[in-house]
Structure 1
């Protein structure tokens, strides 16, 4: 099953999400870093609500969760810790790890020993990766 994990956000998933989620006009063009360009720490609750309540296929779930994790990383950088949202994010990452394995590993940055060179969210993701993958 290891090769079945989504590896990256696809253009098809982006285009589909754009019809389901209201992104700013400047955020509607496909680009390699689209999921990071549309991340928004002020919209995490909205993104999480949509993740929980709209019908999404596996690739759309992967794409939207990437936006959510990126947005929460931005919030942590801004000093905005929201334990409730963090718990929801971790719940879905854990329970849908068959979809989100590559998100968890990317943000955990396990190959980097110096945490000062990592994403702010890396310690949280490392703990999750340790729990899931040993």
Structure 2
């Protein structure tokens, strides 16, 4: 996440992790440093997306659920082949204010596209669409 500007950088909260681990039966151990990335499983994407779409979740839980789902796709051969992928991208686009940190991170702008996760091209497209709205103007000289 080195290229994510500090003013949009976001991390899962302990409260969101605790709530989601309980709700979905996900492990939540003290030595899990990047919980949202350790618990991702592609087999649960439909379940998590349905929960995301059901509404009524605090913003921190929406953010963390999306992190889990993207992690679940990152190493797949072709995320676009999964029926949930277009829906997930639509949620990112619709709720970019919550997810700009996620999109910016997964866009991996410091990496060449031949050495990236399979989700990066789609994240770069979303970032290109929304990046200007989240960049602070340069101070006057």
Q: TM-score range by the shorter chain?
A: 0.7 to 0.9
Measured at CA, do residues 14 and 6 of structure 1 come closer, stay the same or move farther in structure 2, by a change above 3 Å? Answer: farther
Q: 2:135: which partner in 1?
A: none
Q: For 1:8 and 1:80, how far apart are their aligned partners in 2?
A: 24
Unaligned runs of 5+ in 2: 1-5, 133-141
Pick closer, same or farther for the CA change 1:69–1:108 going to 2, 3 Å. Answer: same
- Does structure 2 conserve the Cα–Cα contact (< 8 Å) formed by 1:51 and 1:61? yes
Gaps of 5+ in 1: none
Instruction: Give the TM-score normalised by structure 2.
Output: 0.79
Shift of 1:20: 1.9
Instruction: Give the conservation status (yes or no) of the 8 Å contact 1:41–1:72.
Output: yes
Q: Equivalent residue for 1:59? A: 60
Q: Between Structure 1 and Structure 2, whose CA radius of gyration is higher?
A: 2
1:121 is aligned, of 107, 119, 122, to: 119
CA RMSD of aligned residues (A): 2.0
Q: Which runs of 4+ in 1 moved over 4 A?
A: none
The alignment status of 1:20 with 2:27, answered yes or no, reads no
TM-score by length of structure 1 reads 0.83
Q: Residues 80 and 86 of structure 2 are in contact (CA less than 8 Å); yes or no, is this contact kept in structure 1?
A: no
Paired with 1:41 and 1:83, the residues of 2 have a C-alpha distance of: 10
State the distance in 1 between where 2:90 and 2:52 align: 12
1:70 CA drift (Å): 0.7
Which residue is 1:104 aligned to? 103
The residue aligned with 2:129 is 131
